Amino acid sequence: MDYREVVVWTNDVLAAARQVHRRAGFALVAGKPHRWYGAGPVGQDRRFPIGRNTTVKYAFSTLGVPGMPTSEVVRLAAETGYDGVELRAHPEEPVHPGIGAQDRRDVVERFERAGVEILAVAGYTRVAAPGEDEPVYEELRALLALARDLGAPYVRVFPGGGDGQSQEDADATAARRLGLAAETAADLGVRILLETHDSHRTGAAAARVLGPVGHKNVGALWDVMHTWLGGETPAAAHAVLAPHLGYTQVKDIASADDTTPLALGAGALPLGECVALLDGDGWVCWEYEKRWYPAAADLPGLLAEGRAYLRGLSA
């Protein structure tokens, strides 16, 4: 007999049981009040699809927990069952290129002790921006060295083309700089990922840069919100990004006019379509933009359900 899913039933007041179910990947699918054990409990059905690929790894970005100490980030990831963390490498955060060797070793030790991976160093280098190449390259080298010291396989960069810049110039500038940095990235064992963002928010736009670079240590980071906002279907975005793809960032928003972050599955983004297109052994990272929307709900309380939701999409 072939079984398609396992469903467990528990009560909302049993916090320890709910945590076990969430971390095992059981997604909440229904809830109904009852009086079997007195007034108040809500019975919950949680579903776990059978036969799905379980090699997908899940991470969250520290953009969702701005300023949180590294020790707390690690604890949060471990408690909610995430495999890794994308570290926002900005000077206002605990981890950035300006920290010293001992601080870097301490970060690595905290993550290793908890069994949580550092997925990426998320930098803010704008590789298509007008100006001289050397300052951009220096910024990239610092990010690459940080990633190497932390054992992170990826460094995130933005396109960042200027308003008065032609598409051709922005493409050529980004490709030239990424090509220049590619060998350094290879020497350090790190891959640079160009995020679908700002001036190159669609997969087609990012591919115009990545194709000419043609180096295995330069690839793409698919931010599914930006390709959607750029009018690209998930299938069209993935088709051009797949040859270059490092990992995928997911999030959810109410609409194109209201990009306040929401819990995964609560908004308008076609997350199911996006996740269904991915290979079964890659990374999916939840980038919750709390730093830019301080009035949004706090991320820690959403993480466990978010992971369960993503695992359900991977069925």
pLDDT tens sequence for the chain (315 residues): 455 568 888 876 676 665 566 556 565 555 567 666 665 676 777 666 655 445 899 999 999 999 999 999 999 999 999 999 999 999 999 999 999 999 999 999 999 999 999 999 999 999 999 999 999 999 999 999 999 999 999 999 999 999 999 999 999 999 999 999 999 999 999 999 999 999 999 999 999 999 999 999 999 999 999 999 999 999 999 999 999 999 999 999 999 999 999 999 999 999 999 999 998 789 999 999 999 999 999 999 999 999 999 999 986
In terms of domains, do 31 and 69 share one?
A: no
Asked whether residue 43 falls in the same domain as residue 140, the answer is: no
pLDDT score at 41: 72
- Between the CA of residue 120 and those of 116, 149, 290, 295, what are the distances in Å? 12, 12, 18, 26
Range of the domain at 9: 5-47
Residue reference for tokens 């009040």: 33
User: Cβ(124)–Cβ(102) under 8 Å?
Assistant: no
Are 82 and 197 in a shared domain? yes
Count of structural domains within the chain: 2
State the pLDDT at residue 149.
98
Instruction: Give ∠ CA 218-315-312 in degrees, rounded to 5.
Output: 90
**Residues 83 and 119 placed together within one structural domain of the fold:** yes
DSSP 3-state assignment of 285? strand
Are both 27 and 171 inside the same structural domain?
no
Same domain, 131 and 165: yes
| 245 in Cβ contact with 219 (< 8 Å) | yes
Give this prediction's pTM: 0.84
Amino acid at 210: L
Say what the pLDDT of residue 24 is: 61
- 164, 268: one domain: yes
Residue 225 makes CB contacts below 8 A (sequence gap 6+) with 249, 251, 253, 259, 269
